[in-house]
Amino acid sequence: MTTTIGTRTGAELLSVHGLTKSYAGADGELPVLAGIDVTIHEGEIVALLGKSGSGKSTLLRCLAGLIPPSSGTVSYRGDPLKGANPGTAMVFQTFALLPWLTVQQNVEVGLEARGIGAARRRQAALKAIDLIGLDGFESAYPKELSGGMRQRVGFARALVVEPDVLLMDEPFSALDVLTAENLRGELLELWDSGEFPTKAIVVVTHNIEEAVLMADRVIVLGSRPYGTIRASYDITLDRPRDRDSRQFTALINEIYRTMTGRGEQAAPLPPHGVETARPRPTLADSPLPAASVDGLAGLAEILQRHDGHLDIAALADELGLEVDDLLPLVDALELLGFATLDGGHVALSDEGLAFSAADVQDSKKIFAAAALEVPLVRLITTSLEKSVDGGLRYGFFRDLLAHHYTSEQVTAQLEVATDWGRYAELYSYDANHEEYMLDPSRATSLDHDDEPGMSTA
């Protein structure tokens, strides 16, 4: 069946006007979102697309009423929210199931919280379980299910309350490629069949192809210096969508150019002789991309073999990858000062060229100097240097990051920071005791700096 996507003529369900969101930091308020205006209408799927740090998950949680805006309003059917949004339900990236409850009991949780009686809860839960393809698993526990099946439970739990708007925070990113493709396809089939018990969907994603495949409207968020809406695209392609069509490819390329900044007007240069201060990056505005040292070093070596610069789309084609697979690595090189990104074109800096050509020991020194300019790595290193015994618990950094990120994001940020710090020989991490320790070589150099008569000039 082919479904033609109409215009936004449905009733207004959610609206956001002038929304800003900031978190308290050591140096004052740290902005995450600023000047956001969005309206969600009945009958549409809207994708919030952006790289890490663009605030898309924060915006989703504001829509759900889980966190309040710092200023501006979020309204449901014209009424400003004063708490949790009664017209929404959420599907999370990491399933968030209660392991001691069965599938059916997990699905019933939301209904029980609303005071629905046992008989009605059971009837509604079994209907949602049937809808989402979980028949036969009613009495199973989460540990018995595959990742795809656990996420189906998450969908059933959200849909059983029949919300006006289903909110999904990267619901397929924790699944393998084939499982994600299958579940995404089934979800779209349900939506197009008219059996879907919700009037609109808002999905957060960092995957351009996923956004164009699913959404009727794609809203692109930028992240510097804080989250703003960079562009909005109405997707009028018929469903099911042909990924190989010229129109689909053209949309992918156009949105890709917007996400990477290609074609944006350059900022005017300051008058001759006048220097402009570049604001120092902070924990909130400089999240670590999901990039290992091996991955970013590999990309630097490939760029170095191509005279230090390449078009990202061309490189992705050459490697048989999606552009989205390379973006975290490019972001990592840019954050470290090893590369610059001009639209879809990435070029190594002098430091990046030196890093890619150096032997292992020299590359570690170059990487360490660059990593110490990255806020989270710098925070861990300087905190350990100031501690009494050169060690600090994992929970100390977790709690600091919790002011700016969700619990899942905190875990991901610290995983990357651990990898980078270990490679740079700045600090180590003992997983058994959940403790960071300053690297002995760095502690020794600090001791030498403190000796009488030593000069640091």
User: What architecture does CATH give domain 12-260?
Assistant: 3-Layer(aba) Sandwich (3.40)
Could you give the residue range(s) of every CATH 1.10.10.10 domain in the chain? 293-362
Could you give the residue range(s) of every CATH 3.40.50.300 domain in the chain? 12-260
293-362 maps to CATH 1.10.10.10 = yes
**Beta-carbon count within 10 A of 220 CB:** 23
Phi, psi of 151 (to 5 degrees): -70, -30
pLDDT in tens, 403-430: 777 677 788 899 999 999 999 999 999 9
Write down the pTM of the prediction.
0.67
380 within 8 A of 417, measured Cβ to Cβ: yes
- Tokens 């501690």 label which residue? 387
State residue 449's pLDDT score.
Answer: 52
Query: Beta strands 435-438 and 391-393: pairing type?
Result: antiparallel
Per-residue pLDDT band at 2 (split at 50, 70, 90)? very low
Alpha-helical (H) ranges within 33-82 are 56-63
Average pLDDT over residues 49-78: 89
State residue 14's pLDDT score.
Answer: 95
pLDDT in tens, 284-338: 667 888 888 888 888 888 888 888 788 887 787 777 777 777 888 888 998 899 9
Structure tokens at 132: 């989402």
pLDDT in tens, 221-235: 987 666 789 899 999
Topology at the third CATH level for domain 372-450:
Arc Repressor Mutant, subunit A (1.10.10)
Compute CA distances 55 → 51, 120, 200, 454, whole Å: 9, 38, 21, 46
**Beta-carbon count within 10 A of 126 CB:** 18
